[in-house]
Structure 1
Amino acid sequence: MEFLLTEDQLTLAEGVKDYLTGTHGPDILRRLDEKSNRDPAIWKGLVEMGLPGLLVPEENGGLGLTLLDAALIAAECGRACLAEPLVDTAFVAVPWLIAKGDSDDLDAIASGEKT
């Protein structure tokens, strides 16, 4: 049994880390605390990477990846103290909706329209 991460998983996590390093951090969090708790530009970048649809099945417009992939991305979100609703949307709501058999909102989540 192999317990090593794949090259694709490492590349995905590194890409997210690079993006969050460039768009998030203490200065951004201070600005968000002063004005609001969200930055539409950061959310747009996460959507462009397909992250809201990480666990959404491909037939619903998502990437159809695994919980291990999600854990790698969640770790990078935690490292950057991400203030966007990626973890609760993509890593909590999506598996819950899939377990319920409710696929009505999965397309909208994968496209970043719904959180």
Structure 2
Amino acid sequence: MPLSGKEAHPRNTKEARRTSSTETSGATGAPDKDYNLVRYVEACLSNALRLETYIADAERDKGTEVGDPFRKARADSRTGAELGRRLLGARWVSGAEMFLDGWSRAGRR
């Protein structure tokens, strides 16, 4: 028997709304607060890799002038990926420090 109404949409429950507003990344609804940043880094790296193909095609066709914008875009994508990596690293280190601080306090009780 198919579910209808609130049963069909578990997000209509109070618990689901509370969870979604406190543990997701907003518009994407991802359950991890770092999800969007991870996806951004992945997109930058994917773009840089794709641009490698475009640069190789341009060089094969002896089109250095055509390859230049691709090289610039590749550098920008790598810069974006590096920025995202640093931000993630800072978040994860901060989270680990908070965890260890809480853990050490619990051990003192």
With structure 1 as the length reference, what TM-score do the two structures score?
A: 0.25
Larger radius of gyration: 2
TM-score for both structures, normalised by structure 2:
0.26
**Greater relative CO, 1 or 2 (CA 8 Å, sep 6+):** 1
Question: Which structure has more helix as a fraction of its residues?
Answer: 2
